[in-house]
Amino acid sequence: MSSGVSSGQATCEVCEKVMLCRNVSSHLKKMHNYTTEQAEEVKKTLKMETMIEGLIICPIYDDQFLNKEGFAGHCLMNHSDDGADATSEGAVPVTGVEESQEVLNVLDVETHIPAADIEPIVPAQERLGLRKMIRNKTEMAYATVMENVNVQVKEDSDEAMQKLTMIFDQMEVISRIKTSARSGELQMVPRTERAQLRKKRRAEMKAALEQQDPEMLGPPGL
């Protein structure tokens, strides 16, 4: 048996069937005539391998997490989208504002994992905490962006506009996920609403850059 720590799955070395780790023992006994002792030994070895690795690994960034909650938070921050025609193969990380690499590390988004796939592994009581984390990350990112871009606004408005547009596009992706105050469930902001907010936001950004008024360049509402 080989383990897949990132997904909690294992592949049977006899028939190459993929299954949940907890089903390994019963599969070996039923399909391959393993004795209870043999099946439990394989399961124990698999568990030890998992414990040694001890990590959930993001298949895109290779980031490592100690638990599913941490991985879920990472996915909400970095891979959240509605999943429409989005694949990891076709995803391209957004780059720009080299001085703000820390910001880009927070906001780069490869849109391929639907929020609906993330929600089941996030305990209900932790969803509001994840939303608070996202809000705080966005606010910190905004502050860093403005610190590094304000000078460029005066020197080259077109270049600054392009960089800010890319960054705020990523903030907009994050803002697609909202939490219902009543149920605590994660929900997606409707496409039509997102398009209207994006159009309004870009108009405000353009006006602010033309007037060189940083006060108008606030982060998008979450």
Q: How many CB atoms lie within 10 A of CB 115?
A: 19
Q: What is the pLDDT of residues 98-130, one digit of tens each?
A: 333 333 333 333 333 344 444 554 555 555 565
pTM, to two decimals: 0.25
For residue 98, count other CB atoms closer than 10 A to its CB: 9
Q: List, for residues 132-147, the tens digit of each pLDDT value.
A: 665 565 556 555 555 5
Sign of CA dihedral 31, 22, 65, 189: positive
Confidence of residue 21 (pLDDT cuts 50, 70, 90): confident
Residue 81 pLDDT class (50, 70, 90 cuts): very low
pLDDT of residue 210: 61
* pLDDT given at position 18: 79
202-217 confidence digits (pLDDT tens): 666 666 656 654 444 4
Say if residue 95's pLDDT is above 80.
Answer: no
Cα–Cα distance measured from residue 191 to residue 44, given in angstroms and rounded to the nearest whole number: 47
Give CA torsion, residues 130, 136, 142, 143, to 10 deg. -160
Length of the chain measured in residues: 222
The yes-or-no verdict on residue 187 having pLDDT over 80 is no
Confidence of residue 60 (pLDDT cuts 50, 70, 90): low
Rg of the chain taking only CA atoms, in angstroms = 22
pLDDT of residue 186: 45
SS3 label, residue 61 = coil
Read off the pLDDT of each residue in 44-67 and give the average, rounded to a whole number. 58
* pLDDT value, residue 184: 44
Residue linked to tokens 């398009």: 195
Q: Are 145 and 165 in contact (CB under 8 A)?
A: no
